[in-house]
Amino acid sequence: MRATGVSLGQLLLALDATLVRLVQAPRGLDLPVASAALIDSDDVRLGLAPSAGSADVFFLLGVSESDALLWVEQQSVRRPPTAIFVKEPSGAVVGRAVAAGTAVVAVDPRARWERLYRLVNHVFEHHGEGALHDSGTDLFGLAQSIAERTHGMVSIEDAQSHVLAYSASSDEADELRRLSILGRAGPPEHLAWIAQWGIFDALRARPEAVRVAERPELGLRPRLAIGIFSPAPDERRAPAFVGTIWVQQGSRPLADDAEEVLRGAAVLAARIMARLAATPSTHAARVQELLGLRESDAPVELELIARELGVAVDGRAAVIGFDASTTGTRLADVLALSASAFRHDAQMASAGSRVYVLFPNTGKAVTSWVRGTVAALRAELGLQLHAVIASPVAGLSGAAGARAEVDRVLDSAERHPGTLAAVTSLAESRTTVLLDEIVTAIATDERLIDPRIPALRADEPVLAETLGVYLDSFGDVAGAAQQLHVHPNTVRYRVRRIEQLLSASLSDPDVRLLLSLSLRATA
């Protein structure tokens, strides 16, 4: 959805000079902006780059000067974008863009694109008319209010030390603050010193202000910090640590009541973070509706949602589900960056440990993208992901059903780790998943399990193992013997013994089916 009420000037004000610097704005700073897209060199070279009609601002990732000039020229004959964000833009690129009426924003060369992408979308999704820099509803506004009261420079981080918002920076910002905002890890010697003195532990232990002394030899200015704790759901549980507020001191001393201000700020920050976590943006809510992730008795209005998201209702869609239940990484943010670079119309939604990507109109290349993404995240971040592809899907009307099928596969993979490939499709996994669901259903109702099988497992475990191998080998005695590492005659003897104990003939196909399912359900 294209939100309203945020101008280019407000966006740049929220991002701060630490991250970006306005080079030229030929049409002024009052133009509304509500969506962003990513362009890389392959997009331009292969002619896959999205047109300006699909977004208001574009990030040019690793695009050469010649490719940037070509892309800007192509957009100038359509609808020029409001702004482009470029690292170290050349004079030629600036001139071409300004001539087309497009603002040019220079991005700090050290900035991480995923940090900038996340912050820009945070502004788009959570700031309507009048909400930008409202300290009661927005973390950026709260950070600025804290800065004004304490006379310092403020940043608000989550529990994983990712910067969520910050106040305006001055020339007195030290390297640790600048690198944190840029999405880079702080200098190792700084972090080692902070950790050595137990500052991180103190922040996570209790909601009290902690002072960090100045270290001139490290270029580290004095700081005041406090942990942010979410309210406990009941008195039996301790409040959960969800983040930190940092106040860096400049040449002006911090206010005398800075610690008291921080205690109140931590309470407000916890409320805002809880609200943002519990209430998705309108855009996210629409994607959740498409994927059937929101409970509602009202019918899904596909045409309306498609218009708001700027996507086609019909076509060959694809739904991909990712699961990484043991990771603390912001999987949704990482995947959003990759998916948006692959397709400008990619839509994202999250539910628990799972992240879903919807491509409203795509082709066969989606499988290659999924495999490449899973491999890259494994190599670069050490993430072990499961990904399930549902494609082709008959337009947006089939998205919710496809997501439900994807969940069936991921559920099966959770129950039986290692049974499915890291990347699979509904077609490839259908047999495994259906059989798993049948066996799981039987296992939950003891009336459906042949009582002879639990008795056999308890009294004759060797015979129970032999029975399972024999049935899985389709009655091939030699094959079963090889798997069991015994002589074929031993298998024949055990089979006769099993038939005697069960009072059943293993030549009966119905008996074999019943015993096989009972064996699997009691495994």
53-100 pLDDT, tens digit each: 568 899 998 889 998 998 888 887 777 889 999 999 999 999 999 999
pLDDT at 196: 76
pLDDT at 236: 64
DSSP string spanning 219-269?
TBPPEEEEEEEEPPSSTTSPPEEEEEEEEE--SSPPPTTHHHHHHHHHHHH
Mean per-residue pLDDT for 334-363?
Answer: 83
**CB neighbour list of residue 219: distance below 8 Å, 6 or more residues apart:** 174, 175
Residue 457 has pLDDT above 50, yes or no: yes
Mean per-residue pLDDT for 244-267?
Answer: 91
* Alpha carbon of residue 208 to chain centroid: 31
> Quick one: which of 484, 477, 472 has its CA closest to 512?
472
Q: What confidence tier does 135 reach under pLDDT thresholds 50, 70, 90? A: very low
Q: Is the bond preceding residue 417 a cis peptide, omega within 30 degrees?
A: no
pLDDT at 153: 94
Q: What confidence tier does 289 reach under pLDDT thresholds 50, 70, 90? A: confident
Structure token digits, residue 65: 């000067």
Asked if residue 487 lies in contact with residue 480, where contact means CB atoms within 8 angstroms, the answer is no
Task: Report the alpha-carbon angle 253-258-262, nearest 5.
Answer: 140
pLDDT at 357: 92
Structure token digits, residue 158: 């989550």
Asked if residue 27 lies in contact with residue 115, where contact means CB atoms within 8 angstroms, the answer is no
Task: Report the alpha-carbon angle 216-222-227, nearest 5.
Answer: 140
Asked if residue 117 lies in contact with residue 336, where contact means CB atoms within 8 angstroms, the answer is yes
Residue 234 has pLDDT above 70, yes or no: no
What pTM does this model have? 0.53
pLDDT at 222: 92
Residue 445 has pLDDT above 90, yes or no: no
pLDDT at 281: 67
Percent of the chain predicted with pLDDT > 90: 24
For residue 464, the tally of other CB atoms under 10 A from its CB is 19
φ/ψ of 246, rounded to 5, equals -110, 135
Comparing 190 with 128, which gets the higher pLDDT? 190
**CB neighbour list of residue 461: distance below 8 Å, 6 or more residues apart:** none
* Three-state secondary-structure class, residue 423: strand
Query: What is the Cα–Cα distance from 267 to 278, expressed in whole angstroms?
Result: 17
Residue 391 has pLDDT above 50, yes or no: yes
Most confident of 234-238, 252-256, 442-446: 252-256
pLDDT at 141: 81
Q: Which helix (H) or strand (E) holds 428?
A: helix 426-443
Residue 339 has pLDDT above 80, yes or no: yes
For residue 304, the tally of other CB atoms under 10 A from its CB is 11
- Report the greatest alpha carbon distance in the chain: 91
In DSSP terms, which residues pair with 423 in a beta bridge?
387
Work out the mean pLDDT of the chain and round it to a whole number. 84
pLDDT at 2: 42
Q: Is 379 exposed, middle or buried (0-12, 13-18, 19+ CB in 10 A)?
A: exposed
Least confident of 14-28, 149-163, 226-240, 261-275: 226-240
Query: What is the Cα–Cα distance from 24 to 105, expressed in whole angstroms?
Result: 7
pLDDT at 337: 75
